Amino acid sequence: MRRKDKEISDVSEKLKIIDRNKVCRLALSDSDQPYIVPLNYGYSFEGGGLTLYFHSAREGKKLEIIKRNSRACFEIDCDSVLVEGERPCSYSYAFESIIGTGRIILLNTAAEKEDGLNRLMKHQTGKNGTYHFDESMMERIVVYKLVVEEFTGKRGKNKP
């Protein structure tokens, strides 16, 4: 990261940002064309590794791209506040963000899919517990995870 003064290096601080947010922007590469989509997510941080969980319909552009190229980038941000300056170029933004890269894996077994969906539901609702997903629902969706290889945190220091 170029701006070391804005870097969040403490993993627990980065996880707090991931935990506070509900939408992740997933960036994919379709040959020479970038493709980005906002998604709700769940996550796990186990053994020092971050994994993000998503679900979608069984068909569509996003899934077609993933099947051709499983490499992905993601971005999560929050607490964006305009910090006014005296001149136009002295304006700034206070913010917190997480950016990372990894590889997407489609989950195949019912147990894997249910685990991913439970992580997603727990994160989105804030409720601990186990959800039940009937077979017809599971057949209509795809559940996948992004196994994060690296992620960085950044914080704008100019909070008003």
**Residue 32 in domain:** yes
**Residue 160 in domain:** no
Range of the domain at 108: 4-155
**CATH number (domain holding residue 118):** 2.30.110.10
pTM (2 decimals)?
A: 0.90
Domain count, the chain: 1
Amino acid letter at 102?
Answer: G
What tokens does 13 get?
A: 């601080």
Instruction: State the alpha helices, DSSP H only, in 4-141.
Output: 11-20, 61-68, 110-125, 135-140
72-104 CB burial, b ≥16 within 10 A, e <16 = bbbbbbeeeeeeeeeeeeeeeeebbbbbbebeb
Beta bridge partners of 97: 77, 154
Q: Which residues contact 51 (CB under 8 A, 6 or more apart)?
A: 43, 44, 45, 145, 146, 147, 148
**Residue 93 in domain:** yes
pLDDT by residue for the chain (160 residues), tens only, comes to 566 667 788 999 999 999 999 999 999 999 889 999 999 999 999 999 999 999 999 999 999 999 999 999 999 987 777 788 888 888 877 889 999 999 999 999 999 999 999 999 999 999 988 888 888 888 889 999 999 999 999 988 655 4
**How many angstroms separate the Cα of 37 from the Cα of each of 54, 92, 94?**
12, 26, 24
Q: Quick check: 143 and 54 in contact, CB under 8 A?
A: yes
Q: What's the longest Cα–Cα distance across the chain?
A: 59
